[in-house]
Homo-oligomer: A and B are copies of this chain.
Amino acid sequence: MPRLKTIEWGDNSVRIIDQTLLPARLSYCKIDSITATYDAIKTLKIRGAPAIGVAGAYGLYLGMADFPEDRSVTDFLIYLDKNVRYLDSSRPTAVNLSWALQRLRTKAKEISAGKTILQIKQALLEEAHAIFEEDRTNCRKIGENGFELIKEYHTILTHCNAGGLATTEYGTALAPLYIGTERGRIFSVYADETRPLLQGARITAFELNEAGIPVTVICDSMAASVIAAGKVDAIIVGADRIAANGDTANKIGTYSLALVAREHKIPFFVAAPLSTFDTAIPSGNDIPIEEREPGEITDGFGKRTVPDGVAVYNPAFDITPYRYISAIITEKGIILPPFETGISRLTAEN
């Protein structure tokens, strides 16, 4: 259903949509080095937890592709570790990046005995392709599973962008809407604009509009009033990291939506692949929250909107405690409260 190619491999490089230019321009850029990957992730040319996992995997391969093949495998693995740490530092909150990088690292270590550097490089690229393909399949499954939850609903509110442009194709939070649309259901969506970087207004509205799904943009501060007026049947958001107890890090502003949903007795769903779960950490208290540049708030639109000399605080994510979440939609099924059990079971199977 979504026709936009968020990320594609070809010609020994990655082609991505430069999302900082949306909605004014649908423009692609070519990434052919690990430093360009770091930059693209850091500056949000590519963003969305699953998409930066895929981009990170390809970027790590690109960082290793030129490693001299006459050197030792040990040196190769040391350099790989260094590159993993480098790329992983581009964005701290979404665990998918770290998960993808570790997956390539583990692959390299597992197969390194008796293999040439060329063969290990090839295995890294194949692993990156596998992550890409799994993301496509998993998001489609999230869509199918999520559709079962929302098929009786009409109007869905979402925050930030957890759509096709946050993944390889179907998205997470928006996947159930795409699947439903393929099956002839008509949904309409309220998209929070999502300050400071307006991923909702710029990206979610763009991709839903491209797909012919009616969307209305509101400011983040308007969601509560729209929900209080009875205009929203359910909220679905994505996630950047989910702790073992279900506490969920997602774009700043998610937590207050969850409070409003509970107050007005509408369901609040989180949609995410299993790669977003971090069962090594017990609760949201342990999730690192990225703090970004004040300029995103003070000069986000080309004109200074905060007086000089005034302090600004710009956390990029917040934590929604598990108790406000109605269900978590994954590729392996729906997890219902109490989440700890379901998360433990599904991630163990994975």
- In the complex, the count of this chain's copies comes to 2
Neighbouring B residues of A309 by C-beta, 8 Å: 209
Q: With A252-B225, A310-B209, A318-B228 in contact, do A220 and B195 touch (Cβ < 8 Å)?
A: yes
Neighbouring B residues of A190 by C-beta, 8 Å: 313
Per-residue contact bits, chain A 240-275, to B (CB 8 Å; 1 contact, 0 not): 000000000000110110011001000000000000
A-side interface residues, number (CB < 8 Å):
56
Pair A311/B219 contact, Cβ less than 8 Å: no
Partner of A224, one of B263, B312, B318: B318
Q: With A201-B297, A222-B313 in contact, do A217 and B306 touch (Cβ < 8 Å)?
A: yes
Distance in angstroms from A299 CB to nearest chain B CB is 9
Q: With a 10 A CB-CB cut-off, give which of A225, A298, A309 has the most chain B CB atoms.
A: A225
Neighbouring B residues of A114 by C-beta, 8 Å: none
Pair A318/B225 contact, Cβ less than 8 Å: yes
Pair B306/A255 contact, Cβ less than 8 Å: no
Docked pose: A113 CA to B23 CA in angstroms: 64
Per-residue contact bits, chain A 174-210, to B (CB 8 Å; 1 contact, 0 not): 0000000000000000101111101001100110010
Task: Offer 6 A-B interface pairs, CB within 8 angstroms, sorted by A.
Answer: A194-B221, A195-B219, A215-B311, A218-B314, A223-B256, A228-B319
7 nearest CB pairs, A to B? A301-B301, A221-B253, A224-B256, A225-B318, A23-B307, A195-B219, A220-B221
Starting from the known contacts A198-B305, A222-B318, 13 additional A-B residue pairs (CB-CB under 8 Å) come to: A23-B306, A193-B195, A205-B310, A216-B311, A216-B313, A217-B306, A217-B313, A218-B314, A219-B220, A221-B252, A225-B318, A259-B260, A300-B301
